[in-house]
Amino acid sequence: MDKNIRICIVGGGPAGLSAGMYLEQKGYENYTILERLDRVGGKCWSPIMGVPSYYAVEDVEKFCGITHDGPKLNRNYKDANGNVIEPFARTLGNIIRNPWLLKMKKQLKTFGELLETKYKGYDLNGHRGVAEGRYDGYAVTPGRERVQGENPNLKDLALPFSEFCKKNGCELVQKIWIGPFTSFGYGYFDEIPAAYVLKYLDFQTCMNFVKVNLWTWKEGTQYIWEQLNAHLKNPARLNSKIEKVERRDGKVFVTVNGEVEEYDKIIVTAPRRAWSSTSTPATMRRRSSPRSTTSATTCSPSRPSPRITPRSPTMSSTTWCPRSSAI
Ligand SMILES: Cc1cc2nc3c(=O)[nH]c(=O)nc-3n(C[C@H](O)[C@H](O)[C@H](O)COP(=O)(O)OP(=O)(O)OC[C@H]3O[C@@H](n4cnc5c(N)ncnc54)[C@H](O)[C@@H]3O)c2cc1C
């Protein structure tokens, strides 16, 4: 693909900024990140944490030459009366008081082994093909190489997490996953498919939570994204609100603060409903195939035709990316 294609990235949150970083690393430098707010970072704007298995964050830290410099986190477990308790089979006293803890420890070990063997490929970044019993994505090893293969067992991941654990004789591990999953507000194990639970909390990530092996940043998680933005060749254009996207003649026309800009490709990392704001009520309507070079996505009612600002002379085909996917 022509390395000079004009790429519009909607949103200066983690996904939009990382898209800029990865494009730049692959030699695509003609990208424009449009952020509607007066700051970058999106929802990642808090003093919370990351874990060592968040590889994209590691990539960003390397790119910027920064590190996780925040305080080490600690954690206590308490019973219903507020007394501090030890929920793991680490002390003899605790095991004597709660004999089932040893069973949980054994099941946890089995669960980790099963995920690596019977469910090989469950944790690939990308997670494509799981429902059909295949895996296709990027390995969660430092090389992050592309890995593909067949594994019919992966179809089990469509089961609710509680059933998946039961099927594998590891029901007690739910007591561990429940902390950073259900308590964080991500849903209930009898409703959420195992594929989703294990996508967010693969074995390694869950163990990092258990061991409180977490990263923090003195200035909050937003620090990573502010740093990334500062290190990009094309930092995000702030206060640039996308109001409309139209595909015509193999190009993408993006209305930003009332002005139309022309691009060859678009990467969308903001919810499309964000374009249905009061300033431009918009009902997105796709006219033809999402991958067709002649397709168009329109918003209606449309505004009077504003001025068109060509971004660069390069012209190529367009591809509609409904979420923060590849161009
Ligand atoms: C309470 C809470 C706690 C969290 N805790 C953690 C945590 O501890 N660790 C962690 O790693 N993750 C955490 N997350 C998750 C993390 O914040 C999100 O995964 C991340 O922000 C998603 O990034 P994104 O770029 O996809 O979307 P967003 O962060 O939503 O970024 C989208 C960007 O697009 C912009 N935008 C929207 N509409 C338009 C438009 N029309 N034109 C131009 N720009 C537009 C928005 O302003 C925004 O900047 C937490 C999330 C929440 C809500």
Structure confidence by residue, pLDDT tens digits, 216-230: 999 888 999 999 999
Whether residue 157 is contained in a domain is answered as yes
| Residue 13 Cα to ligand 1 middle (Å) | 5
Q: Whose CA is nearest to atom 23 of ligand 1?
A: 14
What pLDDT is stored for residue 236 in this prediction? 98
Give the mean pLDDT of 37-44: 94
pTM above 0.95, yes or no: no
Give the mean pLDDT of 4-9: 97
Long-range contacts of 257-262 (CB under 8 A, 24+ apart): 258/303, 258/306, 259/306, 259/307, 259/309, 260/305, 260/306, 260/307, 260/308, 260/309, 261/8, 261/32, 261/308, 261/309, 261/311, 262/6, 262/308, 262/309, 262/310, 262/311
Check residue 72 and report its DSSP letter: P
Domain span holding position 189: 77-210
- Cα–Cα distance, 81 to 22 (Å, whole number): 50
Whether residue 206 is contained in a domain is answered as yes
Number of structural domains (the chain) is 1
What pLDDT is stored for residue 189 in this prediction? 97
Cβ pair 121, 149 in contact under 8 A: yes
pLDDT-wise least confident of 71-75, 205-209, 260-264: 71-75
Share of the chain above pLDDT 70, in %: 82
Check residue 289 and report its DSSP letter: -
CATH number (domain holding residue 175): 1.10.405.20
Give the mean pLDDT of 164-182: 95
pLDDT for 274 beyond 50:
yes
Banded model confidence at residue 316, pLDDT cuts 50, 70, 90:
very low
What pLDDT is stored for residue 288 in this prediction? 33
Pocket test for ligand 1, best of 43, 59, 225, 229 (most atoms within 8 A of CB): 43
Whether residue 24 is contained in a domain is answered as no
pLDDT for 303 beyond 50:
no
What pLDDT is stored for residue 276 in this prediction? 56
Banded model confidence at residue 287, pLDDT cuts 50, 70, 90:
very low
Whether residue 301 is contained in a domain is answered as no
- Residues near ligand 1 with C-beta < 6 Å? 10-16, 34-37, 42-44, 46, 48-50, 221, 241-242, 269-270, 274-275, 324
Across 74-78, 132-136, 309-313, the highest mean pLDDT is recorded for: 132-136
pLDDT for 171 beyond 50:
yes
What pLDDT is stored for residue 275 in this prediction? 66
Whether residue 83 is contained in a domain is answered as yes
Whether residue 46 is contained in a domain is answered as no
pLDDT for 113 beyond 90:
yes
Pocket test for ligand 1, best of 17, 44, 221, 261 (most atoms within 8 A of CB): 44
Across 42-51, 52-61, 187-196, the highest mean pLDDT is recorded for: 187-196
Whether residue 138 is contained in a domain is answered as yes
Give 60 or 272, the one with higher predicted confidence: 60
pLDDT for 166 beyond 60:
yes
Whether residue 122 is contained in a domain is answered as yes
